[in-house]
């Protein structure tokens, strides 16, 4: 509560009180002078109430006293007939004083409640801001080690010498890491929804392809349970629609995933239908029906609440209670609502509708499947790539990935070093971490872009900051693109292709690019090998004979820096484990013989 000592604010209230009473007197004199002069309190009640609401009890009491003084003593000066002339008029004064006191008390209570409400709102806002900061920090701290876990598991999966058992172990590591990442994304999505920062990302997409992908995704699980999995009404939908593809995908994955999880026998059906809303807008109705365990009627009310699970969900000991709640919010954002009908032991039907408009084939957004990059296509200048990352594990991972395909790579550990190294080396592209010591990535980006030469270098923010306002800050700092942690290798290669126009050699193209055994080819390699330092060839032969894959990759990387075409061919042979041919080529003499 605020104090009522005489302060500058109290004087302000006193001045407001005096002005209000004067206005009440003026209104009583004119234009209300024509009314019965004995109706003394016509304008003074509203004045006292207004003053009390603004200034509380003290101001209300002052206004009451001033009003009584004007009526009893001042009115005989202002008009010929005073208000208080008879003993009964003093009763009116007493009633006014008592009523005004009650009004002041009520107004003070209202004012106090309003102050408390504002304080509570400010506290809630501060708490929400603190939660957002906490989630942003936790997101960064969790994503950074997840990037190393998922990244190194991807790197190891590129090793062709792994045993089938180790490949299975890597798949477990990768799937567990992906589950942690999806859980983290769900929690962040809840925070975005609660803070009303979740928006639609409208694109033109092929809904038929989306549904077919989901059917393939769940085909193995339904087949393992011998469930009938069917889709109907898909042909009634237009091929391309305009809407939020990602949110629709998540909603369908959650609903179909739950249906598969809680259905042990019978079938799962997905039905589509359309209702026309207007000439341009239509309503797509989607139903997901299963013959699973069903949901009790008393549990339906908690079905779409965050972190709530049904009894069947608790028994399964899986899930977080977030999927259906997020799905409901997504559907509401898309202009619909999820309704559920369920009977225990019979099954459930989840039904929702979303608004959409028909898309066009010409503007359809397509995404290609990730491919295994093994090198840079010939005929290109080898770009210089700078990695600015304070985490040793993540920096080493990215540097190793980029060098494995023949790129020229340097590394720094903070923003200040990135700025200094840029001025000396002028890289073509910089992977810039955002949160770094000494100087963060945002400030380093601003300094580099302010440099005249900075316009020729592309800067890609590589960060665990994934909230929309954080991405906007990254964009405003001058970054040309963004890759969130944990990143996939295909994202790294894709962003380099988009920003600096790199073309790649892929694993499935290697068969057509392998060197032949013809005399011309052997003569070519003989001439190329003669240009290399002899110790590199010796090191390569020793590494091949001992099957030291790390040493083989290291020597080939050095060879690539001296002779790109030869190094590229060696890398292809090494990636296919054709060590016999690689050893034979390295042993060619001047006559082209082994």
Residue that is written with structure tokens 């002028």 in the block = 426
How many angstroms separate the CA atoms of 24 and 31, rounded?
11
Pairing relationship of beta strands 347-358 and 240-243 according to DSSP bridges: antiparallel
Element (H, E) at 177: helix 164-194
How confident is the model at residue 27, as a pLDDT?
67
Pairing relationship of beta strands 339-343 and 347-358 according to DSSP bridges: antiparallel
Q: Report which of 364, 201, 353 is spatially closest to residue 277, judged by C-alpha positions.
A: 353
Q: Over the stretch 399-439, which tens digit does the pLDDT of each residue have?
A: 988 988 888 999 999 999 999 999 999 999 999 999 899 99
424 touches 381 (CB < 8 A): no
How confident is the model at residue 351, as a pLDDT?
95
Number of separate helices (H) and strands (E) present in the chain: 20, 14
HSE at residue 301, side-chain half, CA atoms within 13 A, is: 2
How confident is the model at residue 592, as a pLDDT?
39
Q: Over the stretch 509-541, which tens digit does the pLDDT of each residue have?
A: 544 444 454 445 566 677 778 888 888 888 888
- Please identify every stretch of the chain with a pLDDT value under 50, giving residue numbers as ranges: 1-9, 363-368, 510-515, 517-519, 589-594
Residues belonging to the chain: 594
Centre a 10 Å sphere on the Cβ of residue 252 and count the other Cβ atoms it contains.
19
Q: Which domains does the chain have, with CATH numbers?
A: 1-157+159-195 (no CATH), 203-358 (3.30.565.10), 373-506 (3.40.50.2300), 514-586 (no CATH)
How many angstroms separate the CA atoms of 71 and 84, rounded?
7
HSE at residue 591, side-chain half, CA atoms within 13 A, is: 2
How confident is the model at residue 445, as a pLDDT?
95
How confident is the model at residue 193, as a pLDDT?
67
How confident is the model at residue 508, as a pLDDT?
60
How many angstroms separate the CA atoms of 293 and 295, rounded?
7
Question: Can you give the pTM of this predicted structure?
Answer: 0.54
Q: Where are the alpha helices (DSSP H) in 70-86?
A: 75-78
How confident is the model at residue 34, as a pLDDT?
55
Residue that is written with structure tokens 């009584």 in the block = 68
């Amino acid at each position: 509560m605020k104090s009522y000592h005489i302060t500058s604010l109290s004087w302000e209230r006193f001045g407001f009180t005096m002005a209000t009473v004067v206005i009440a007197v003026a209104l009583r004199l004119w234009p209300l002078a024509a009314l019965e002069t004995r109706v003394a309190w016509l304008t003074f009640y509203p004045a006292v109430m207004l003053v009390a609401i603004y200034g509380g009890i003290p101001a209300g009491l002052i206004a009451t006293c001033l009003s009584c003084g004007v009526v009893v003593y001042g009115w005989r000066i202002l008009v010929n007939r005073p208000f208080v002339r008879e003993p009964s008029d003093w009763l009116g004064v007493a009633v006014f004083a008592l009523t005004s006191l009650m009004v002041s008390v009520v107004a003070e209570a209202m004012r106090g409640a309003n102050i408390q409400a504002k304080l509570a709102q400010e506290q809630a806002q501060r708490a929400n801001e603190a939660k957002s900061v906490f989630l942003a920090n936790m997101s960064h701290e969790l994503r950074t080690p997840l990037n190393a876990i998922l990244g190194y598991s991807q790197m190891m999966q590129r090793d062709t010498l792994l045993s089938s058992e180790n490949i299975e172990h890597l798949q477990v590591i990768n799937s567990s890491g992906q589950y942690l990442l999806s859980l983290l994304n769900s929690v962040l999505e809840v925070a975005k929804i609660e803070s009303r920062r979740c928006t639609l990302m409208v694109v033109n997409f092929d809904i038929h392809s989306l549904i077919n992908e989901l059917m393939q995704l769940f085909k193995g699980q339904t087949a393992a349970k011998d469930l009938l999995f069917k889709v109907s009404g898909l042909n009634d939908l237009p091929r391309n629609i305009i809407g939020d593809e990602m949110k629709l995908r998540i909603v369908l994955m959650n609903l179909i995933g739950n249906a598969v999880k809680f259905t042990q026998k019978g079938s799962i059906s997905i039905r589509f239908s359309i209702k026309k809303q207007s000439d341009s807008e239509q309503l797509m109705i989607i139903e997901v029906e299963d013959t699973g365990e069903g949901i009790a009627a008393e549990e339906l009310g908690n079905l779409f609440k965050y972190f709530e699970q049904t009894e069947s969900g608790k028994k399964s000991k899986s899930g977080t209670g977030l999927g259906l709640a997020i799905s409901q919010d997504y559907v509401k954002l898309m202009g619909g609502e999820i309704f559920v009908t369920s009977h225990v032991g019979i099954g459930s039907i989840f039904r929702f509708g979303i608004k959409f408009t028909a898309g066009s084939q010409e503007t359809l957004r397509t995404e290609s499947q990730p491919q295994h990059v093994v090198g840079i296509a010939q005929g290109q200048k080898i770009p210089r790539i700078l990695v600015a990352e304070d985490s040793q594990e993540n920096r080493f991972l990215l540097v190793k990935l980029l060098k494995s395909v023949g790129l020229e790579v340097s590394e720094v550990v903070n923003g200040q070093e990135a700025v200094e190294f840029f001025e000396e080396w002028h890289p073509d592209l910089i992977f810039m971490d955002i949160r770094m010591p000494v100087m963060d990535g945002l400030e380093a980006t601003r300094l580099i872009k302010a440099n005249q030469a900075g316009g020729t270098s592309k800067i890609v923010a590589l960060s665990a900051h994934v909230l929309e306002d954080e991405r906007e800050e990254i964009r405003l700092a001058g970054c040309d693109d963004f890759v969130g942690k944990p990143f996939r290798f295909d994202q790294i290669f894709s962003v380099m292709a988009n920003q600096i126009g790199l073309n790649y050699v892929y694993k499935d193209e290697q068969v057509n690019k392998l060197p032949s055994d013809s005399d011309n080819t052997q003569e070519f390699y003989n001439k190329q090998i003669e240009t290399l330092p002899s110790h590199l060839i010796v090191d390569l032969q020793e590494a091949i004979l001992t099957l030291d894959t790390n040493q083989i990759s290291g020597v080939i990387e050095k060879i690539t820096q001296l002779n790109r075409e030869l190094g590229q061919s060696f890398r292809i042979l090494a990636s296919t484990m054709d060590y016999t041919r690689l050893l034979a080529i390295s042993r060619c003499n001047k006559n082209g013989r082994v």
